Amino acid sequence: MNLRCARLDRAEVCATCGARTLAFCAALDLDELPELAAIRHDVTFGADQELFADGDAAESIFNLIAGCVRLSKLLPDGRRQISEFVLPGEYFGMVTGELYPFAAEAVTEGRLCRFSRRALDDLGERHPALHRRMLHMAWDEVTRMQEQQLLLGRKTPVERLASFLLTLAARYARIGVQAAPLHLPMNRSDVADYLGLTVETVSRTFTRLTKDGLIRLPRSAEVVLADPDGLAALAEAE
């Protein structure tokens, strides 16, 4: 295989990527994609694999293609807060400082593109649409985080879990993943650390929602949203 062939192949990868229309890559035209493909590094990872640790040198930005990743921060005594579950099409690892102020770990196995910050920034200089798209995605992220702050600061456990299930279902629906039944890739401990609760409270709350007929739980990782309107009423907290 000669160089020319190799370049075409790499471009092909981006052109046929399932996550392209969702991710920031959508900002580039087909004929610009080879430039993106040229600076992209393909990474596959297994469940529970650490992608980077809190305090690592922040040299890369990541674009998730498949799987689920959790971003988390720890207190010295081990208390943990998961700030986000990253889904396909979303990017993570963006910081302006030298070090990542949070950790990224795989929830499930999956695949992502790694870009050197430097190279991606250069590409953005040449194709401003890329930075513009990343800006809008960052704004969406901020909006989601405001919603999550309301949840963490003011909602009861039932309201938190109802919000969580609905939001996750909506996010999966948006990226074209069937959501009935809703599959939870993360375990109860992850859910607890995302919602600011303990595993026990999460478990009790699942039971409570089940007994009230709002959901069904054929398996612990599979949720049927039996009464979405009822859940929404809880989530918006009447």
Partner DNA sequence: CGTGACATTGACGTTGGTCAACTACCGTGG
Partner DNA sequence: CCACGGTAGTTGACCAACGTCAATGTCACG
DSSP codes, 127-187: -HHHHHHHHHHHHHHHHHHHHHHHHHHH--HHHHHHHHHHHHHHHHHHTT---SSEE--S-
Phi and psi angles of residue 2, each rounded to the nearest 5 degrees, phi first: -85, 175
The tokens for 46 are 């297994």
Between 194 and 206, whose beta carbon lies closer to a copy of itself? 194
By CB under 8 A, tell whether 182 contacts a copy of itself: no
Between 224 and 237, whose beta carbon lies closer to a copy of itself? 237
For the beta sheet containing 91-92, the strands, ordered from the edge strand earlier in sequence to the opposite edge, are: 40-45, 110-116, 60-66, 91-92
Interaction partner, residue 198 (DNA, a copy of itself, none; CB < 5-8 Å by kind): DNA
Closest distance of CB 81 from DNA, Å: 12
User: With contact defined as beta carbons under 8 Å apart, do 95 and 58 qualify?
Assistant: yes
By CB under 8 A, tell whether 99 contacts a copy of itself: no
Interaction partner, residue 229 (a copy of itself, DNA, none; CB < 5-8 Å by kind): none
By CB under 8 A, tell whether 131 contacts a copy of itself: yes
By CB under 8 A, tell whether 117 contacts a copy of itself: no
Q: Is 87 exposed, middle or buried (0-12, 13-18, 19+ CB in 10 A)?
A: buried
Which residue from 221, 224, 226, 233 is in contact with DNA, where contact means CB under 7 A?
Answer: 221
**C-alpha to C-alpha distance for 137 and 28, rounded to whole angstroms:** 15
For a copy of itself, the binding residues (CB under 8 A) are 71, 73, 75-77, 79-81, 83, 94-97, 101-102, 121, 124-125, 128, 131-132, 134-136, 138-143, 145-150, 152-155, 193, 195-196, 236-238
For DNA, the binding residues (CB under 7 A) are 156-157, 187-189, 196-204, 206-207, 217, 219-221
